[in-house]
Amino acid sequence: MRLLIAAVGRLKTGPLADLQSEYVKRLSEPIEIKEVEERRSLSPAERKVREGQLLLAALPEGALVIALDERGKSLASAGFAERLQRWRVEGVKALAFVIGGADGLAQPVVQRAGFTLSLGAMTWPHLLARILLLEQLYRAQQILAGHPYHRA
């Protein structure tokens, strides 16, 4: 199964970029990260709409879209691993995770999603949410492989 993370914002060289690279290397399945960014000066509402358009344009045809949103379903790591495994068994060829900017995801992006996932009740910076997602993808991989990385 191919994985994609479509995310608002560009990681600059530094600790977050290093962590992203480390988790991308650890994942056994191919993963692509597409960063989108609107540089024009827009109102927050206009920026959110524009970022939504850019995210939707970054999605591959036929991918199951998973929106990261605070109102989504919160899963324990083992439950997330089970969900990923279920999608594999169901024949899902590609998963596309979308991460909005500072103001969240535009409604058309949430509506396009086949599943909405929450990383918890706390608010996370959108650039850090990407790292949290990558770590959970790696953790799910290790859970499914029976590796002791995950201790619950």
Structural domains for the chain: 2-38+45-144 (3.40.1280.10)
Residue 11 φ then ψ, to 5°:
-75, 130
- The SS3 of residue 149 is coil
Residue 34 φ then ψ, to 5°:
-110, 120
Residue 44, C-beta contacts closer than 8 angstroms, at least 6 positions apart:
103
Q: How many CB atoms lie within 10 A of CB 17?
A: 14
Read off the pTM: 0.94
Q: How many CB atoms lie within 10 A of CB 113?
A: 19
Cα angle value 19/75/6 (rounded, 5°):
45
- The SS3 of residue 26 is helix
Q: Cα 32 to the chain's mean position, in Å?
A: 11
- Written as tens digits, the pLDDT of the chain (152 aa) is 999 999 999 999 999 999 999 999 999 999 999 999 999 999 999 999 999 999 999 999 999 999 999 999 999 999 999 999 999 999 999 999 999 999 999 999 999 999 999 999 888 888 899 999 999 999 999 999 998 876 65
